[in-house]
Amino acid sequence: MKTFALLLFCWLAPLAAAGTAASAEQAYARGDYAEAVERWSAEIRSEGVTAARLAALGNAEWRLGRKGRAMVCWERARLIDPRDPVALAGLRHAHDVGGVERPQASAVEEYAAFLTADLWLLLSVAAFWTTVLCVAVPRLRRRPAGEVNQWTRVGALTVLALCAPGLWGGRVLDARAVVRRPDVSLRLTPTQFGEPLRGVAEGDVVRTERPFNGHMRVRTADGKTGWLRAGEIETVRGPGLPADLDQKAAP
Amino acid sequence: MGRLLAVCVGLALGLLARAEDRVSWEITPRVTAPGQPFRLQIVVESDVVLGAGQFISREIKPPRGMALRLSGQIIRPDSNEATFNFSGVAPEQLGEHVIPTFNLRFTRKAVVVPEIRLRVSDQVTYRREAQARAELVLPDRVLFVGELVRGAIRMRGGEDETVVASYGLESLAEGFSMAVTAERQSLPDELGQGLQTTFDLTPIREGVGEFSLNGIMLVQPGEAWLKMPEPGTLNQGGRDRPFTFRRLLTVAHVPERGRPPEWNGAIGRFVAEGLQVSKEEPEVGEPIRLRAILIGEGNLDRILPPDVRGDETWDVLPATERRQNRAEDQRMFVYTLVPRLPGKLRTPPVRLAAFDPTTKTFSRLEFTPLELTVTGNAPAQVDLVTADPAAPAAGQPKPVTGLATPAPNRSSPFFRGSPATSLGDAAGFWPANAAALGLVVAAMTVTGVLGYLAAHPEIRRRRRARAAMRAALAEAEACRGRGDARGFAVAVVRGLQAGVAARLVAEEQAMTQSDVERVLPGADRARLDDLFLRAHADRFAPAAPAAGAGDAAADLALLRRLLATR
């Protein structure tokens, strides 16, 4: 009886998940974006984060006017899948129409966006170990390296060299954050009453440099540097769902 | 009676005789050069009083290319003679040109004028630049339906004549609409003295059509233009000079191939001047006006306003369009925008396409969006409904936005992972790699050391020899302590043989005093002989003790010296 109940549960669980996903899409299609956000968030919590789910959630958040949360979702979706079409369309739409400012990607960042940071790392580690083994094995065997070994060594070193800008670009891409609060000012100093330099809007993407005194030094899309409170921004690299900034901290 | 009858018959014949009209004409000059002005005089003599002339030039049909206008007439009320003067310009085509027979209508009767012939020859000396002349400026290419073609008639003065006025412009053009934009304007300085009349021509039908334009300019000989009469006064010294243009124009529709979907009938060369808004920091829900200014040359008035659609950030409402002065060559499209979300928003895109009739290509124009800061709060939920009141209530598609349709179930085998942490941040990733690298380096080091030792066996041999020498030294010290002279000598000799054999790569047992001398130059040979004799005393007969023999400290020093030798 217990076995039968377990089998029944295993059979029903995917059906229930599929039903949740379908209802979220239906809610989105009929314009009930709040419902779509709820259902996709629950799906991400229960089944894990994927680029497609985050991008869909970003669309629903954008429709609700929550630009900061939408940008966080799309940026994180791109961390998982740099070529996710929904996230790319959302970011382009936010930049072109929504007035969101996003730093212009440098050549290294464009290059790094070809793969994810993890894939760059895996590729470079594989190339490194191939090179090491190509050097070590003939020495351990006390035999001269053959022609195949030499070509493999050259190929692995080439791949390693090609991975270097990807790794660097991945680091640069990770060092970004999304402004989550509306009507935020960039401050001259990392202090509570720091002089406001210029305004940044919710949803703007900034490059992060270093934290200090509960603030983060950031560089905006137009090159202006200043300090923002840590609670006003959310780093692109983070857990799947955007942080709930309205939630009070535990006493 | 007979004479009376003859007179009556004569009178009757006189009355019944047909009235005969005499018509003569004269062209001056009789033979003209192409484009040369000429004068035609027609003299009518009738047997009755003619009366006033009626519609004299209506029935005259000059041949193609010839301009001919009535410039004056002399008809006395009580006379049966009439004189008509015509001004003309010869056609450009050589040969004989015939003005067909036509009627001159008077109050009393109509007089038939026989055909008139004009010979045009290139043998006639004529300087075109000396005379006033008219030129038609019109692009020589295929025109397009709806296009605005700017044309002009340039009435240019010559060296001997000046143009002082023009009048009587007539046009005949089926399939075209024509509007005179400016009359009798002075020519630009680079074109010399003269006047010009500009017009806009718009083809309205596809096909080949003839466009004809006639008019008269008033010319004066000499430098009379320097003392031109006051406006409104008649200059008696002037002379009429007609002009006529007939041109076959080919009109086509704007090609459908390559036509962008946003093409709204714009033909010409345009530039998107920019956008203007009535307020740069509106609140959510506050309507503002967006003006898109288009400048350039072309059919600005015929362009349909570009379609601007709303999205989740803007509602777009229709607005009354205001047109600027036509002379400014610009057009303004006006829209009403209502922001739906707060923040920094960009105005919706305004795009249109234009067809360049010169290059026969389409080009796309886009007004650079403006960035506005919208204040206020967003509604809890933004419904994407169209704001066009003229749209049907049902079946209206949602406005196109830049967001793609979500596909949350899409998955990619290569792109999986978590945005929270990267692989490089995972615990154990770098230590595991470092440990593996350390193992590989250690293995390579060991292998290298072993290989080196294998390649250099003397290292191990000397190390063993040093160990043997240390053991022998210790044993010798022990024998010395207990007074065993032979054991002492045996231990010292064994140490010396071990050390020397390692140096000379030889067997220890085969080493003699001479070998020790080779390794330790300057060693005391007598002491060595004594040591070896004592060590191997059982092999030889007893001998007399040598000088210095029995000095154990010197023997040990010899062994230590060999041990210290590298």
**B439-483 pLDDT, tens digit each:** 999 999 998 899 898 888 888 899 999 999 999 999 999 998 888
Whether A182 and A166 map to the same domain: the answer is no
Q: Which residues of chain A are within 8 Å of residue B430 when distances are taken between CB atoms?
A: none
β-sheet bridge partners, residue B372: B345
pLDDT at B86 over 80: yes
Window 439-468 of B, Cβ < 8 Å to A: 440, 443-444, 447-448, 451
pLDDT at B233 over 60: no
The mean pLDDT of B156-160, rounded to a whole number, is 82
> Which CATH number covers residue A68?
1.25.40.10
pLDDT at A72 over 70: yes
Window 4-33 of A, Cβ < 8 Å to B: 21, 24-25, 28, 31, 33
Instruction: Output the pLDDT for position B232.
Output: 41
Alpha helix ranges (H) inside chain A:
2-29, 33-47, 51-63, 67-80, 85-96, 107-112, 117-141, 147-174
How many distinct structural domains can be found in chain A? Answer: 3
The string over B429-456, giving b where at least 16 C-beta atoms fall within 10 Å of a residue's C-beta and e elsewhere, is: eeeeeeeeeeebeeebeeeeeeeeeeee
Whether A21 and A82 map to the same domain: the answer is yes
Q: Could you tell me if residue A162 is inside a domain?
A: yes
Q: Could you tell me if residue A183 is inside a domain?
A: yes
Q: Which amino acid is at B108?
A: R
pLDDT at B173 over 90: no
Residue with tokens 């709204």: B264
Instruction: Output the pLDDT for position B12.
Output: 56
Cβ of A81 within 8 Å of Cβ of B412? The answer is yes
d(CA B228, CA B243): 22
Q: Could you tell me if residue A67 is inside a domain?
A: yes
CA distances from B68 to B60, B64, B132, B195, B450 (A): 9, 11, 15, 20, 120
Q: Which residues of chain B are within 8 Å of residue A86 when distances are taken between CB atoms?
A: 403-407
Cβ of A97 within 8 Å of Cβ of B346? The answer is yes
> Which CATH number covers residue A200?
2.30.30.40
Cβ of B410 within 8 Å of Cβ of A52? The answer is yes
Whether A129 and A197 map to the same domain: the answer is no
d(CA B321, CA B303): 12
Whether A190 and A212 map to the same domain: the answer is yes
User: HEC string of B129-144?
Assistant: HHCCEEEEECCCCCEE
**Which phi and psi angles does B202 have, rounded to 5°?**
-125, 115
Q: Could you tell me if residue A226 is inside a domain?
A: yes
d(CA B466, CA B496): 10
Q: Could you tell me if residue A241 is inside a domain?
A: no
Whether A76 and A155 map to the same domain: the answer is no
Residue with tokens 């629903």: A60
User: Rounded to a whole number, what is the distance in Å from the CA of A61 to chain B's nearest CA?
Assistant: 10
Residue with tokens 């990733």: B429
Instruction: Output the pLDDT for position B386.
Output: 44
Q: Does B424 touch chain A (CB under 8 A)?
A: yes
Cα-Cα end-to-end distance for chain A: 47
Instruction: Output the pLDDT for position B263.
Output: 86
pLDDT at B394 over 60: no
Residue ending a domain, choose from A152, A173, A194: A173
Cα-Cα end-to-end distance for chain B: 190
Whether A133 and A75 map to the same domain: the answer is no
pLDDT at A5 over 50: yes
Nearest CA in chain A to B409: A52
Q: Where are the beta strands (DSSP E) in B320-468?
A: 330-339, 343-346, 350-356, 361-367, 371-374
The mean pLDDT of B494-510, rounded to a whole number, is 90
Instruction: Categorize the per-residue pLDDT at A207 as very low, low, confident or very high, splitting at 50, 70 and 90.
Output: very high
Q: Does B258 touch chain A (CB under 8 A)?
A: no
Q: What DSSP line would sit under B289-342, residue for residue? A: EEEEEEEEEE-GGGPPPPP----SSEEEEE-------GGGTEEEEEEEEEE-S-
Instruction: Categorize the per-residue pLDDT at A6 as very low, low, confident or very high, splitting at 50, 70 and 90.
Output: very low
Instruction: Output the pLDDT for position B5.
Output: 64
d(CA B303, CA B489): 125
Instruction: Categorize the per-residue pLDDT at B122 as very low, low, confident or very high, splitting at 50, 70 and 90.
Output: confident
Whether A83 and A28 map to the same domain: the answer is yes
Residue with tokens 């288009």: B294
d(CA B48, CA B80): 5
Written as six digits, the tokens of B470 are 């240390």
Cβ of B408 within 8 Å of Cβ of A100? The answer is no
Q: Could you tell me if residue A1 is inside a domain?
A: no
Whether A94 and A169 map to the same domain: the answer is no
d(CA A58, CA A186): 25
Instruction: Output the pLDDT for position A251.
Output: 46
Cβ of A96 within 8 Å of Cβ of B346? The answer is yes
Q: Which amino acid is at A108?
A: V
Whether A96 and A115 map to the same domain: the answer is no
The mean pLDDT of B112-120, rounded to a whole number, is 87
- Residue A240's Cα: distance from chain center in Å? 8
Window 381-410 of B, Cβ < 8 Å to A: 381-384, 401-410
d(CA A83, CA A55): 11
Task: Kindly give, in sequence order, each residue whose CB lies less than 8 Å from that of residue B5, ignoring residues fewer than 6 positions away.
Answer: none
Beta-strand pair B116-120/B31-32: parallel
Written as six digits, the tokens of A50 are 């994927």
Other Cβ atoms within 10 Å of A69 Cβ, number:
26
Written as six digits, the tokens of B257 are 């191939």
* Average pLDDT score, chain B: 80
Alpha carbons within 13 A on the beta-carbon side of B524: 15
Residue ending a domain, choose from A47, A67, A100: A100
Q: Could you tell me if residue A40 is inside a domain?
A: yes
Better-scored residue on pLDDT, B168 or A124: A124
Q: Does A42 touch chain B (CB under 8 A)?
A: no
Whether A120 and A83 map to the same domain: the answer is no
**B235-255 pLDDT, tens digit each:** 445 778 888 888 888 888 888
For the ranges B177-181, B218-222, B319-323, the maximum mean pLDDT occurs at: B177-181
Instruction: Output the pLDDT for position B395.
Output: 47
Whether A141 and A183 map to the same domain: the answer is no
User: Rounded to a whole number, what is the distance in Å from the CA of A152 to chain B's nearest CA?
Assistant: 18
Better-scored residue on pLDDT, A65 or B381: A65
The mean pLDDT of B47-68, rounded to a whole number, is 80
Q: Which residues of chain B are within 8 Å of residue A132 when distances are taken between CB atoms?
A: 437, 440
* Cβ atoms of residues B65 and B153 within 8 Å: no
Beta-strand pair B263-277/B350-356: parallel
Residue ending a domain, choose from A135, A155, A173: A173
Closest by CA position to A81, among listed B408, B420, B425, B417: B417
Q: DSSP assignment, residue A142?
A: T
Written as six digits, the tokens of B106 are 């008077």
Nearest CA in chain B to A118: B423
Q: Could you tell me if residue A76 is inside a domain?
A: yes
Nearest CA in chain B to A78: B419
Whether A26 and A81 map to the same domain: the answer is yes
User: Rounded to a whole number, what is the distance in Å from the CA of B205 to chain A's nearest CA?
Assistant: 41
β-sheet bridge partners, residue B143: B251
pLDDT at A206 over 60: yes
Q: Label residue A172 left, alpha or beta by phi (over 0 means left) and psi (-120 to 50 means alpha).
A: alpha
User: Rounded to a whole number, what is the distance in Å from the CA of A64 to chain B's nearest CA?
Assistant: 5
- Indicate the SS3 state at residue A115: coil
The residue segments making up the domain with residue A120 are 109-173
Cβ of A52 within 8 Å of Cβ of B406? The answer is yes
User: Rounded to a whole number, what is the distance in Å from the CA of B424 to chain A's nearest CA?
Assistant: 7
Other Cβ atoms within 10 Å of A48 Cβ, number:
11
Q: What DSSP line would sit under A156-179, residue for residue? A: HHHHHHHHHHHHHHHHHHHSEEEE
pLDDT at B231 over 50: no
User: Rounded to a whole number, what is the distance in Å from the CA of B271 to chain A's nearest CA?
Assistant: 21
User: Rounded to a whole number, what is the distance in Å from the CA of B563 to chain A's nearest CA?
Assistant: 35
The mean pLDDT of B152-163, rounded to a whole number, is 85
Window 333-362 of B, Cβ < 8 Å to A: 340-346, 348-349
Instruction: Output the pLDDT for position B544.
Output: 57
Cβ of A98 within 8 Å of Cβ of B372? The answer is no
CA distances from B282 to A98, A159, B285, B315, B473 (A): 15, 53, 8, 13, 104
